[in-house]
Structure formats: structure tokens, C-alpha cells
Structure 1
Amino acid sequence: MIIRTATLEDLPILLDFEQKLIEAERPMDPTLKQKEKISYYSIEDYIKSDHTEVVVAEVNNEIAGSGYGQIRDRKDFFIQKQYGYIGFMYVTEEHRGKGISQTVIKYLYDWFKTKNLEEVRLTVYEKNPRAIKAYEKVGFEKHLIEMRISLNN
């Protein structure tokens, strides 16, 4: 397995990964538009950005996974001025359970360290226990709980 920085040539595959990720998450979030094509990320802009590192995992010269690390500013009341954020974690079905997401995350940890960041965060749906378990394996701990209520019921 090779983890490398994504290029614009990878964009068609990454856009497909994004749609598969959205498809998997739609049942977990009734607030997402269910029928029309939506996009979570500006992947092309992220690839070009200095504050975001988009990476792909290659297995046998095939892109099998993705993720990004992004430097985000914090509000003034926090000790650190910036933190790292991980998103766009996706692994193709045939390569799940092989440690790809953990390897991508560890790669991003190293990238964040070169930027002198001290903390990394991410968000995950509570109804996605497989992802939660994978994040806990690489050291993440639950920190905040976001709650919602629909007023249309």
C-alpha cells in the first residue's frame, strides 16, 4: 500500500468516492437531500490548497481509499490558534478491513505535525459504529455530542 498526495488526475475517482460516501451517509442523516446529487467537499480546491492535504491510498496501482487533512482556525478563546481536521475518509468495499483508513490517518497525523499542530478533530455520524471503531483504533476519543430535533414531526 502506498499513501500519496492526490493530484488533479485523481479527481474523477475522488469525486466518485465522494458520491459513494454521501450514498452511505444519507440513511444516517434525514436532513440531507435524498434524491439529487450533492457535494460535501471542494476536492479540486482542496488539492490546490496549501492548508489542505488530500491523500489517496493505492493498492496494486489502484486507488483504494482517500482522506484529507485540513488546517482550521480556532476561536480566540482556545489555547491553540489552529487545529487539524480530518475528513473525506473513504475506502472501497473490497479493501475495507485492511487498515487503509488507519494508514491514511497516520499519514495525515505526520502532515499535521509538520505544521506544528497539537490537536486533530473529525466528525462522524453516531449511527456509523464501524467508522467510530476505526477512529478509536488510532486514538480518537469522543469529545462533543451534537444533538438535533426535527420540528416538522
Structure 2
Amino acid sequence: MIHIRKATSHDLTILLEFEQGIIAAERPFDPTLKEGEISYYNLEKMISAADVEVIVAVLDEQIIGSGYARIEDAKPYLNHKLYAYLGFMFTHPDHRGKGVNTQIIEALSDWVRLHGISEMRLDVYNDNFSAIRAYEKAGFKKHLINMRISI
């Protein structure tokens, strides 16, 4: 049975591996990423932050997935003051298709609701169809397209 829990500093080694897995998966979708090893997150800081919840999915004492929710200030013209931004969504390839991502999103949703927040957002690459399907399955809807041009 999969168990969801808050990440700790003891999880950093595997979480750093997951981060590199996310980056490797996203490189084909993003020609603007630097070559070589890069990092998206300061995971150690995020784990200890009050406005961020980093969680892991565990099966048989092995971490198989991760995600975070970070409380953000909304733009002043929106009808909500705060929202939760989701990121670091990763499921180990051996465990994809088993509902791990959905369980992570549900756990993060619970944390977000505990903070009185009713809006969650995330970013996903337009051509990452499997990720889009997973997020739509969890109830997310496409909202805004971010466009770019290299000049």
C-alpha cells in the first residue's frame, strides 16, 4: 500500500535524484534549459519552509514519488488572495500508472485546504501529453498558455 508523508531532510538524496529525473523528462520540451546538470529547487530549504509542503509517496519503505505545494500571493485583480502552486511532481518510472500522482495531489489538496486556500495551479509543458492527461485526471483544467519566441 502506498503511504504519503511529509518529506524530511533524510529524504534529500532520493529527492535530488527525482529532481534530475524531472529535468531529464522536461529537457525535450524546453530548448531554453542550460546544458549540463542544473537544479530547479532548493529542496532542503523547501522542506523546512512554513509556506511549502513537500511530500513523498512511499511503497515498501521506498520513496516512489514526490510533489510540493507552495503558498503564493495571487495577483491583486483575482478573486482569491492566495493560491497554492504545485511542483516537483514525480513518480518513479516503475510505478507510473498506479495512481501515485493522484494520491500526491490529493494529499497536497488536503494541506492547501487546511490553510484556507481554494485555488491550486501548476505548470506543464504544452507537448507533455502524458502529464497533461494525469493532471486532467486529477481534475485540473487548462487555463492559460504561456508562449515564447527566440529572437
TM range (shorter): over 0.9
- Structure 2: distance between partners of 1:137 and 1:20: 22
- Structure 2: distance between partners of 1:146 and 1:93: 28
- Structure 2: distance between partners of 1:131 and 1:74: 25
| Aligned positions of 1:11-90 closer than 5 A | 11-34=12-35, 36-90=36-90
- Structure 2: distance between partners of 1:94 and 1:139: 24
Determine the structure 1 residue equivalent to 2:3.
Answer: 2
Alignment partner of 1:136: what SS?
helix
- Structure 1: distance between partners of 2:80 and 2:90: 29
- Structure 2: distance between partners of 1:17 and 1:11: 10
**Which aligned runs of 4 or more in structure 1 are off by greater than 4 angstroms?**
none
Return the letter of the residue paired with 2:141: E
Identical counterparts, % of pairs: 51
- Structure 2: distance between partners of 1:78 and 1:24: 32
What's the CA shift for 1:75?
A: 2.1
RMSD (Å) for aligned C-alpha atoms: 0.7
- Structure 2: distance between partners of 1:105 and 1:118: 14
Determine the structure 2 residue equivalent to 1:104.
Answer: 104
Return the letter of the residue paired with 1:143: H
Return the letter of the residue paired with 1:33: K
What's the CA shift for 1:82?
A: 0.6
- Structure 2: distance between partners of 1:121 and 1:21: 18
Structure 1 residues without counterparts, runs of 5 or longer:
none
- Structure 2: distance between partners of 1:96 and 1:15: 19
Alignment partner of 2:69: what SS?
strand
| Superposed CA offset, 1:42-78 (max 9, x none) | 1111100000000000011100000001100112222
Return the letter of the residue paired with 2:30: D
TM-score (norm 2): 0.97
Determine the structure 2 residue equivalent to 1:145.
Answer: 145
- Number of residues paired by the alignment? 150
Structure 2 residues without counterparts, runs of 5 or longer:
none
TM-score (norm 1): 0.96
